[in-house]
């Protein structure tokens, strides 16, 4: 027991000695550090709390207690992303100036760090954080509307205003010409308004304004008018030709005479075709027209037609005429082509016949002319001989008469 007690006393004494030595060592270290190091004053950061994207702004960092004969490096940091935005050197207490072309990465908590350049024993100091909000200006909103059928006689226009960029929140205001219809503040750059609507009646023009505190942007003017579908529905097609001059593809076009919000539907053998199938693809371009792309084959053969109705009311459907299409029909020459070819061939035969008859007739006339000429030449020869005799006789008489006349002169 005595040995154990002695050992415990020795252990307690050793622990006390070690603790005392540790305290003394730490105290000496603290005193040495405190005696060799100095502290800069706390810098102060000044600048705007809000800036537009692309704007040029200036921040300043001021040292209230600038150490004498000490060069201080001032650095501007974004604490949120640990990005250095600029630095400046202060030689005798002048403020550090930082000129920034505002970017999205500048938004956040900014700090100014002060560091002595020529004294490693001087501890750096940091300013209080300065919050900067970058305003990403709101873009001109897009405006559109759809029609909602409330009941058999009442309709509404559901107007959507949406901007693609802009710092939130954004306040949207809807105007009908100069009259303010409604406004709403949005956290997703999108607002929806609901207005009463009368079909087939012009109800003015709508414009949407977007404001996020930095700038007010305006949409284009949108006429508030809904024209019901009406008039005939026309359908036609053109084709794509393969290497062997066979039809391999078709484009069917469907168009309605009038209607501002039409819905087009295609049918094959009175079965509704959806947007895409194994041999077809529907390309909608409302309100102008709808296009059905087809690959010609066994599965695409059949009778096609299109149907148009108001997108908000199925009771107004109008159908086009029906068109039967298959590979054999498409590659068969049209009747008018056959008629034109046959007519051209007949005309060619007639032309050749007339030419041949003309040649034969001309040759006959030439032969007849030659025969007549030959016979005439023979007659002239015979007549020429008789004429010579007559001329000789008459010449003698003339001479005699002349001589007699000469004797009668005095």
* CA–CA distance, 226 with 130 (Å, rounded to integer): 53
321 and 352 in a single domain? The answer is: no
Does 155 fall in a domain? yes
Q: Which domain does 296 fall in, by range?
A: 230-331
Does 130 fall in a domain? yes
Does 384 fall in a domain? no
Asked if 64 and 94 touch (Cβ cutoff 8 Å), the reply is no
The residue that leads in pLDDT, 159 or 315, is: 159
> Can you give the pLDDT at residue 149?
94
**Is the pLDDT confidence value at 400 over 60?**
no
How confident is the model over 353-381, as a mean pLDDT?
Answer: 71
176 and 190 in a single domain? The answer is: yes
CATH code for position 193: 2.60.40.10
The residue that leads in pLDDT, 90 or 145, is: 145
Q: Would you give the DSSP letter of residue 139? A: P
* CA–CA distance, 144 with 157 (Å, rounded to integer): 10
* CA–CA distance, 310 with 318 (Å, rounded to integer): 10
> Can you give the pLDDT at residue 26?
41
* CA–CA distance, 304 with 209 (Å, rounded to integer): 46
> What six digits make up the tokens of 183?
């406004």
151 and 112 in a single domain? The answer is: no
240 and 314 in a single domain? The answer is: yes
Domain edge (last residue) among 223, 247, 271: 223
DSSP per-residue letters across 344-359: HHHHHHHHHHHHHHHH
pLDDT band at 401 (very low <50, low <70, confident <90, very high): very low
Counts for the chain of helices (H) and strands (E), in that order: 3, 28
235 and 210 in a single domain? The answer is: no
* CA–CA distance, 134 with 138 (Å, rounded to integer): 12
| Interval 20-39: pLDDT, tens | 444 334 444 433 444 455 66
Does 30 fall in a domain? no
Which residues, in sequence order, are CB contacts of 349 under 8 Å at separation 6+? none
> Can you give the pLDDT at residue 353?
78
| Interval 111-153: pLDDT, tens | 999 998 887 778 899 999 999 999 868 999 999 999 999 988 8
How confident is the model over 322-337, as a mean pLDDT?
Answer: 77
pLDDT band at 12 (very low <50, low <70, confident <90, very high): very low
How many CA within 13 A on the CB side of residue 180?
Answer: 6
Of 21-30, 40-49, 116-125, 288-297, the one with minimum mean pLDDT is 21-30
How confident is the model over 168-175, as a mean pLDDT?
Answer: 95
Does 12 fall in a domain? no
| Interval 219-261: pLDDT, tens | 999 999 999 999 899 999 999 998 888 899 999 999 999 999 9
Share of the chain above pLDDT 70, in %: 78
> Can you give the pLDDT at residue 244?
80
> Can you give the pLDDT at residue 374?
65
**Is the pLDDT confidence value at 362 over 60?**
yes
> What six digits make up the tokens of 216?
């007010």
52 and 120 in a single domain? The answer is: yes
Does 71 fall in a domain? yes
> Can you give the pLDDT at residue 1?
39
**Is the pLDDT confidence value at 206 over 80?**
yes
* CA–CA distance, 264 with 304 (Å, rounded to integer): 13
211 and 234 in a single domain? The answer is: no
Share of the chain above pLDDT 90, in %: 55
The residue that leads in pLDDT, 7 or 315, is: 315
Asked if 195 and 154 touch (Cβ cutoff 8 Å), the reply is no
**Which residue carries 């006393």 as its tokens?**
9
Phi/psi at 160 (5° precision): -115, 130
Does 364 fall in a domain? yes
Q: Which one, of 117, 91, 102, lies nearest residue 59 by Cα?
A: 102
Q: Kindly compute the dihedral angle of the four CA atoms of residues 246, 249, 251, 252, in this order, to the nearest 10 degrees.
A: 80
Residue 197 CA from chain centroid, whole number: 31
pLDDT band at 200 (very low <50, low <70, confident <90, very high): very high
The residue that leads in pLDDT, 27 or 308, is: 308
**Is the pLDDT confidence value at 110 over 50?**
yes
278 and 349 in a single domain? The answer is: no
Does 268 fall in a domain? yes
Task: Please give the tally of structural domains in the chain.
Answer: 4
> Can you give the pLDDT at residue 31?
39
Q: Which one, of 212, 211, 176, lies nearest residue 195 by Cα?
A: 176
Sign of the Cα pseudo-torsion (100, 103, 105, 107, in order) = positive
pTM of the prediction? 0.60
**Is the pLDDT confidence value at 388 over 70?**
no
**Is the pLDDT confidence value at 3 over 70?**
no
The residue that leads in pLDDT, 12 or 53, is: 53
262 and 327 in a single domain? The answer is: yes
* CA–CA distance, 13 with 118 (Å, rounded to integer): 48
> Can you give the pLDDT at residue 21?
46
| Interval 343-353: pLDDT, tens | 887 888 888 87
**Is the pLDDT confidence value at 294 over 60?**
yes
Angle at 389 between CA 387 and CA 391, to 5 degrees: 70
First-to-final CA distance of the chain: 222
Which residues, in sequence order, are CB contacts of 233 under 8 Å at separation 6+? 254, 255, 256, 257, 306, 307, 308, 318, 319, 320
């Amino acid at each position: 027991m005595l040995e154990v007690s002695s050992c415990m006393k020795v252990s307690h004494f050793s622990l006390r000695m070690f603790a005392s030595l540790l305290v003394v060592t730490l105290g000496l270290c603290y005193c040495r550090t405190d005696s060799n190091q100095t502290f800069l004053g706390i810098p102060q950061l000044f600048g705007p709390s809000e800036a537009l994207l692309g704007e040029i702004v200036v921040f300043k960092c001021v040292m209230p207690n600038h150490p004498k004969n000490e060069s201080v490096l001032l650095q501007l940091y974004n604490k949120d992303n640990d990005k250095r935005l600029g630095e400046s050197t202060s030689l005798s207490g002048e403020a550090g100036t930082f000129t920034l072309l505002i970017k999205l990465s500048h938004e956040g908590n900014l700090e100014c760090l002060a560091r002595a350049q020529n004294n490693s024993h001087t501890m750096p100091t940091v300013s209080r954080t300065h919050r900067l909000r970058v305003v990403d200006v709101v873009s001109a909103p897009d405006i559109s509307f759809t029609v909602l059928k409330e009941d058999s006689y009442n309709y509404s226009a559901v107007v959507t205003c949406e901007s693609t960029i802009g710092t939130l929140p954004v306040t949207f205001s809807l105007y009908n010409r100069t009259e303010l219809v409604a406004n709403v503040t949005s956290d997703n750059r999108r607002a929806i308004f609901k207005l009463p609507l009368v079909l087939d009646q012009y109800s003015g023009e709508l414009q949407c304004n977007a404001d996020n505190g930095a700038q007010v942007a305006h949409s284009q003017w949108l006429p508030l008018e809904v024209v019901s579908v009406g008039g005939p529905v026309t359908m036609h097609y053109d084709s794509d030709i393969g290497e062997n001059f066979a039809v391999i593809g078709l484009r069917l076009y469907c168009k309605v005479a009038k209607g501002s919000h039409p819905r087009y539907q295609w049918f094959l053998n009175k079965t509704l075709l959806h947007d895409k199938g194994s041999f077809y693809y529907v390309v909608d371009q409302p309100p102008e027209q709808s296009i059905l792309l087809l690959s010609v084959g066994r599965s695409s053969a059949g009778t096609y037609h299109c149907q148009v109705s108001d997108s908000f009311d199925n009771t107004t459907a109008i159908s086009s005429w029906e068109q039967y299409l298959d590979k054999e029909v498409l590659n068969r020459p049209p009747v008018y082509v056959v008629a034109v070819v046959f007519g051209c061939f007949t005309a060619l035969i007639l032309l050749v016949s007339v030419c041949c008859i003309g040649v034969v007739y001309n040759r006959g006339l030439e032969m007849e002319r030659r025969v007549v000429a030959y016979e005439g030449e023979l007659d002239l020869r015979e007549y020429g001989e008789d004429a010579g005799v007559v001329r000789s006789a008459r010449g003698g008489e003339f001479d005699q008469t002349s001589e007699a006349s000469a004797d009668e002169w005095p």
